[in-house]
Amino acid sequence: MPISKKNQLIGIDVGSHSIKIVEIQDTKKGMVLKNFGIIGLPQEAIVEGSIKEMEIVSAALKNLLKNLKIKNKNVATSISGYSVIVKKITVPKKERADLEQSIQGEAEQYIPFDISDVNLDFQILTPGKEEEEEQEEEEKEEFMDVLLVAAKKDIVEEYISLLHLSEINPLVLDIDAFALQNAFEISDHEQSGCHALVNIGAQQLTINVIDYGVSIFTRDSAYGGAQITSEIQKKLNISYQEAENIKLGAKPIENEKRPIIEDIFTTGVSNWCQEIKRALDFVRSTSPNIKIENILLSGGSSLMPGFSKYLGLETDLKVEMLDPFPNIEIREKTFDISYLKYMAPQAAVSIGLALRYIGDK
C-alpha cells in the first residue's frame, strides 16, 4: 500500500570506494526498505570528490541498478569535499524573494572561488534555542542567519552527467553532511541537545554538528580509510587490493610485519581523531554556550579497530555508532538482516538521500 509513490526518490551515494543505492517505500504502516545494494569502484575512479573515470563509474552504477531491478528513474544524490562550502552567514533581514536577488552579492565575500563558478543555494535559519537566548532584541529585528551552500559548477556537472549517462534523472542534488542529518533525524538517537555526526569513508571525513535539529557547523576534510590502505601498500610493497585485504583482516599477515601495520593504524586513526577534535574545539570556541553531548559515527572507516574508543578518550565524549535503521521496516524475507547491520555505517548517507522527495532542494 504505497502512498505518494510518484514523489519518492532512489538514494544514490557515489563514494570513492563504492556506490550505495537505497530505496525506501512509504506505506500506511511506515517506512519499508525496498532495496539496498553496494558496488565497489576501482581505486582512483573518484579522486577528491571528482569523477575521473566517468565510463567506469557509470557502468558500475548501471550494473547495480540492473541487479537490484530498480524501476524508478528519479534519484537523489550528493556531493562532498573541498568543492562544497557550507557557511552560516548573517545578513540584513529581508524577504526570501529579496534574498534570492541579493544572495550572490552577499555570498561573494565568503566563497573562496569565483562566484560565477559556483551554484548557490541558501536556507533562512530560525535561531536555535541557545542562540535565541543570546541574541539581543535589537539584533533580532535587523539581522537574520542564513545557511549558505555553494558547490563548484564543474563538480555538480560531473555528477549530473554521471546520472544522465546512467539513464537516470537527478532530481535532488544534496550534500553528504545534510544526507547524514536526514538519516540521524529518522533514527532513535536523542534529537534534543547538541550532537556531532561524523562520517569517515575512504577519502572524506564529514562532520555535521546538529544543535536542536539545526546544523550549526559542517566540514569535509580529506581523511579516510584509503590513506591507511595506501600506506600499507607502500610500506609492504604490495598491490592496493592486497593492502585493503590486510587492513580488513581478510588476508593473514606474517608476525614480523604486524608492528608495521599496527603503526600505520595508530597514526591514521590518531590523525582522524585530531581532525575531529580540532573541529569540535572550533565549534565550542564559536558557540561557547553549546554543550556537545556525543559523537555519532558512520562511514566504513568508522569501523577501524580501536578508532571509536580512541576518539572517546581524545574528545572526552561518548562515541556511538549511528543506527539509521530502527524506524525502517526490514523484511527478513527480502534481506539478510545481519549483513544489513554490518553495512549500516556505510549506508547512512544513501539512506538519508532515499528520504528525499521530488521537489526537495
Ligand X SMILES: Nc1ncnc2c1ncn2[C@@H]1O[C@H](COP(=O)(O)OP(=O)(O)OP(=O)(O)O)[C@@H](O)[C@H]1O
| Residues forming beta bridges with residue 147, ordered by sequence position | 88, 123
Q: Is residue 248 near ligand X by the rule CB under 6 A?
A: yes
DSSP string, 213-246: TEEEEEEEES-SHHHHHHHHHHHHT--HHHHHHH
From residue 124, alpha-carbon distances to 21, 100, 214, 222 in Å are 30, 11, 11, 29
Residue 224 binding result from ligand X, Mg ion, none, given CB thresholds of 5 to 8 Å by partner type: ligand X
- Separation of alpha carbons 13 and 46, rounded Å: 13
Alpha helices per DSSP H over the chain:
54-67, 96-107, 129-134, 137-142, 153-165, 176-185, 225-236, 240-247, 258-286, 307-315, 337-354
268 binds Mg ion (CB under 5 A): no
Residues 11, 37, 170, 225: which binds ligand X (CB under 6 A)? 225
Residues 152-211 that bind Mg ion (CB under 5 A): 201
Select 123 or 308, whichever has its Cβ closest to ligand X. Answer: 308
Q: Which position among 128, 210, 346, 351 is part of the footprint of ligand X (CB under 6 A)? A: 346
Among 15, 170, 224, 352, binds Mg ion (CB under 5 A): 15
Q: Does 324 bind Mg ion (CB under 5 A)?
A: no
Task: Answer yes or no whether residue 268 interacts with ligand X by CB under 6 A.
Answer: no
Interface residues for ligand X in 167-206 (CB under 6 A)? 201-204
Adjacency order of strands within the sheet including 30-40: 169-175, 74-79, 10-14, 18-27, 30-40, 328-329
Member of 184, 301, 322, 344 binding ligand X (CB under 6 A): 301
**Least distance (Å) between residue 156 CB and Mg ion:** 17
Contact 146, 170 (CB under 8 A): no
> Per-residue contact track with ligand X, 87 to 126, x per CB under 6 A?
----------------------------------------
Look at residue 18 and give the partner it binds from ligand X, Mg ion, none, a contact being a CB closer than 5 to 8 Å depending on partner kind.
ligand X
Task: Read off the amino acid at residue 10.
Answer: I
Query: Residue 34: left (phi > 0), alpha (psi -120 to 50), or beta?
Result: alpha
Q: Which of 8, 16, 181, 208 binds ligand X (CB under 6 A)?
A: 16
Report residue 248 as a C-alpha cell.
Answer: 580488513
**Burial classification of residue 350, based on how many CB atoms lie within 10 Å of its CB (0-12 exposed, 13-18 middle, 19 or more buried):** buried
Q: Is 226 in the site for ligand X (CB under 6 A)?
A: yes
* Of positions 8, 12, 17, 181, contacts ligand X by CB under 6 A: 17
The one segment of 9-17, 49-57, 151-159, 260-268 that binds Mg ion by CB under 5 A: 9-17
Exactly one of 103, 264, 304, 354 binds ligand X (CB under 6 A); that residue is 304
Indicate the residue among 11 and 201 with the shorter CB distance to Mg ion: 201
Q: Please report, for residues 159, 246, 259, 261, the alpha-carbon distance to residue 255 in angstroms, rounded to integers and kept in the order given.
A: 44, 13, 8, 10
Which residues here bind Mg ion, judged by CB under 5 A?
Answer: 15, 201
Q: Which residues sit at the interface with ligand X, rule CB under 6 A?
A: 15-18, 201-204, 224-226, 244, 247-248, 299-301, 303-304, 346
